[in-house]
């Protein structure tokens, strides 16, 4: 059996983020097995081969900011997708204390 590469591990984590929740890049990195992969998470999401099944729009910065380089329609598109799932913003930040995915690391 082949071991999964870093992108595959990241995609497996992102697929688990519930609708209406967000996770930070660092949170996804830790859950994928390496707390130093936050930047790798960004690369993986930018290369997302299946945005319909890998909800990369649910990954934001630790402060709740959406990506300015959101790969599938620009930064405003990420916010639109999150708001459509019921995620609320305060200014330009997701309200992390309400919408951050609860995992063993947070």
Would you name the residues annotated as active-site residues?
A: 56
Six token digits for residue 12: 């497996």
HEC assignment per residue over 16-50 = CCCCCCEEEHHHHHHHHCCCCCHHHHHHHHHCCCC
The helix/strand/coil state of 90 is: strand
């Amino acid at each position: 059996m082949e071991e999964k590469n870093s992108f595959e591990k990241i995609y497996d984590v992102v697929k688990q983020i519930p609708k209406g929740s967000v996770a930070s890049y660092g949170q996804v990195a830790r859950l994928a097995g390496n707390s130093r992969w936050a930047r790798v998470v960004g690369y993986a999401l930018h290369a997302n081969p299946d945005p319909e099944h890998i909800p990369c729009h649910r990954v934001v910065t630790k402060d709740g900011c959406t990506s300015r380089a959101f790969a599938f329609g620009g930064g405003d598109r990420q916010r639109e997708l999150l708001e459509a799932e019921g995620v609320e913003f305060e200014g330009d930040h997701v309200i992390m204390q309400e919408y951050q995915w609860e995992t063993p690391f947070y």
